[in-house]
Amino acid sequence: MEKKLKAEELFSVEGKIVLLTGGGGIGEYLTEAYLANGATVIATNRTKEKGEKLVAYMNEQGYDKIESYPLDQTDSAQIEELVDKILAKYGRIDVLLNAVGYSYDCKPEDFPEEEIRKMIEINYVSAALLNKIVAKKAMIPAGGGKIINIGSIAGIMCHSKNVFPYEASKAALHQMTRSLALCWAKYNIYVNCIAPTWVKTPLVEHYKGDYFERVRKMHYFDRLSELQDYVGPALFLSSDASSYVSGLILTVDGAWSCGRTVGHEEGYEVQY
């Protein structure tokens, strides 16, 4: 193994070809992070219009190594067509970051069947199809690659009383990540997962009232996570800095998933 001691070498994504699916919220922010560090990004969105808007914004920031394509990630034929297009133009996919996600809130006993199925289909099945196709068509023939799935603390702990299918879908995504890490180690493919806590993105913008103030009080660092908090973990898992890391569910949650202490939200201090 080549000796690398400087951070700019270890964490470099310069020249890498990154396929990033789900170009909104965390995905959009990480798209800019990859571009800022010299990578080429092929981003996907649900619609052509969203993709064009993303590319226009990145061009305004001075980045031109970006393309965007509409993609229904639950359709394996569309995934295969996109991967073939990328391989024809660039010859490889070095990094896959899957940031596609969907959520819906409802009391468990009233949850619509179609929403349960939709959440599993988008959050888990689409990720399974994407991971499988990119690995088979691009990374196995190339002798390796890096795959990052965006999971959630919801896949580790029950974080809400109204989104049980979301929690189940993210738990499945985490376990798939671990399984593929084992299966594809022989191909030099690293498969990891970033599990965010609450972060203000379009996925949670429907919450009203003092919801986010209550969420803030649940966190020991006295704040919600911010999009900036995910840049370091993404660059780490995309680069040589993580050259022996695979199967990791990397929580970015300010210790939220570690547990709860007595009276934390009220600022209670135990008396001795």
Average pLDDT on 3-13 reads 93
Predicted local confidence at residue 210, as pLDDT: 80
Q: 196: which residues sit within 8 A by CB, 6+ positions away?
A: 26, 150, 151, 152, 153, 225, 230, 252, 253
Cβ atoms within 10 Å of 172's Cβ, excluding its own: 18
Global pTM? 0.93
Q: How confident is the model at residue 190 (pLDDT cuts 50, 70, 90)?
A: very high
CA–CA separation, 166 vs 46, rounded Å?
19
Residue 256 pLDDT more than 70? yes
Predicted local confidence at residue 25, as pLDDT: 87
CA–CA separation, 171 vs 165, rounded Å?
10
Residue 264 pLDDT more than 70? no
Active site residues: 166
Domain 7-266: assigned CATH number: 3.40.50.720
Q: Characterize 70-85 residue by residue with b for buried, 16 or more Cβ atoms within 10 angstroms of its Cβ, and e for exposed.
A: ebebbebebbeebbee
Q: Which amino acid is at 204?
A: V
CA–CA separation, 175 vs 173, rounded Å?
6
Predicted local confidence at residue 204, as pLDDT: 63
CA–CA separation, 176 vs 194, rounded Å?
13
CA–CA separation, 149 vs 177, rounded Å?
7
Q: Running DSSP on this structure, what letter comes out for residue 225?
A: B
Length of the chain: 272
Least confident of 25-39, 58-72, 148-162, 226-240: 148-162
Query: pLDDT digits over 83-135, tens only?
Result: 999 999 999 999 999 999 998 989 999 999 999 999 999 999 999 999 999 99
